[in-house]
Amino acid sequence: EGLARPGAELGDLQAAFRRHHALQCGFCTPGILMSAAEFLARVPHPDEAQVRDMLAGHLCRCTGYSGIVHAILEVAAARAETSSHA
C-alpha cells in the first residue's frame, strides 16, 4: 500500500507485476516490491544481471522469477523514457 498512488491506484511497479504475472501466491511479493522500489531509486538503469542479483536475497517458490525481472526492467525503461521527456 505504500507504493500505491493516492486514491489506492496501483503504482507503476505493482501494475507491472500484474501485467507480467510476476506473482502467484503473493507471499514473496511485498518484500520484492519494496526491494525493487529501493533498488530502482539507487540503480535507475539496471540490466537484467543487476536485477537478478538484487533478487538473490528473495525466495519465490511460484514464479520462476522471469515475470518479476521483466516487470522491473519494464518499469526502469518506462521511468527513463518519462524522465527523458521531462
Cα angle 51, 56, 58; round to 5 = 105
| Local structure of 85: helix, strand or coil | coil
Q: Does 27 bind ligand FES (CB under 6 A)?
A: yes
Among 3, 52, 62, 79, binds ligand FES (CB under 6 A): 62
Beta strands in the chain (DSSP E): none
Among 2, 7, 26, 57, binds ligand FES (CB under 6 A): 26
Total residues interacting with ligand FES, rule: CB under 6 A = 11
Q: Does 28 bind ligand FES (CB under 6 A)?
A: yes
> Percentages helix, strand, coil for the chain, rounded to the nearest 5?
60, 0, 40
Q: Does 60 bind ligand FES (CB under 6 A)?
A: yes
Contacts with ligand FES by CB under 6 A lie at: 23-29, 60-63
